[in-house]
Amino acid sequence: MPIDIRVPTLGESIVDAVIGKWLKHEGDAVNQGEALVELETDKVNVEVTADQSGILQKVVKQEGDLVAVGEVLGIIGESSAETAAPAGNGQKVPTGQFQAGLVVNEKQKTPTGQLPPAQVTSDGQRPPSPLARRIAEEYHVDLSQVRGTSPHGRVTRDDVIGYMEQ
């Protein structure tokens, strides 16, 4: 029976993410717990893992797509012959109605398993978010020219996009 790969709940204030990179491709065999796709947010980068072993039948959302919590990213089935239609209707599912594997970028964890506090630069501002850095790099935006609008002056995705639209 096919199972939807959905965007997991990433935190109280995180409602969407950008697909950074698919680690598996359509037709690839996947094992339960294996990382499938990297998601990037303003606060953290995460990997979504497989809830069951099988075949990645369909990639519904592509790299660079903005996705909301609960949206279908792809479909895992027992064999490539199964239908590749989403098990649901492709709509968002309220939190708690699905299980999604989630692995926080291991480089960001402290020995206690918690995310470290954002480092503060010498001028008292926090560094740009990972997603803001990726977008700035992709579009050749000099982050030193972008004004951060978060409470601590951190540059976010919206700040970079706003700067590019000027």
The domain that holds 78 is classified in CATH as 2.40.50.100
**Which of 30-39, 78-87, 125-134 is the most confident on average?**
30-39
Flag whether 91 is in a domain: yes
Answer with the one of 92, 107, 122 that is the final residue of a domain.
107
Mean pLDDT value across the chain: 76
Report the pLDDT value the prediction gives residue 1, as an integer from 0 to 100: 81
Q: Are residues 66 and 135 in the same domain?
A: no
Report the pLDDT value the prediction gives residue 43, as an integer from 0 to 100: 80
CATH number for 141: 4.10.320.10
Q: Are residues 9 and 68 in the same domain?
A: yes
Flag whether 124 is in a domain: no
Q: Are residues 100 and 142 in the same domain?
A: no
Q: Region of 146 please: left (phi>0), alpha (psi -120 to 50) or beta.
A: beta
Q: Whole-prediction pTM value?
A: 0.55
Q: Region of 80 please: left (phi>0), alpha (psi -120 to 50) or beta.
A: alpha
Dist. CA 74–CA 34, nearest whole Å: 14
Report the pLDDT value the prediction gives residue 27, as an integer from 0 to 100: 93
Question: How many separate domains does the chain show?
Answer: 2
Domain that holds residue 30: 3-107
pLDDT tens by residue, 95-144: 333 334 444 444 444 444 443 444 445 455 678 888 888 888 888 989 88
Dist. CA 120–CA 162, nearest whole Å: 23
What residue has token string 């999604």?
100
* Token code pair at residue 133: 């850095």
Dist. CA 136–CA 82, nearest whole Å: 40
Dist. CA 64–CA 66, nearest whole Å: 7
DSSP code at position 108: G
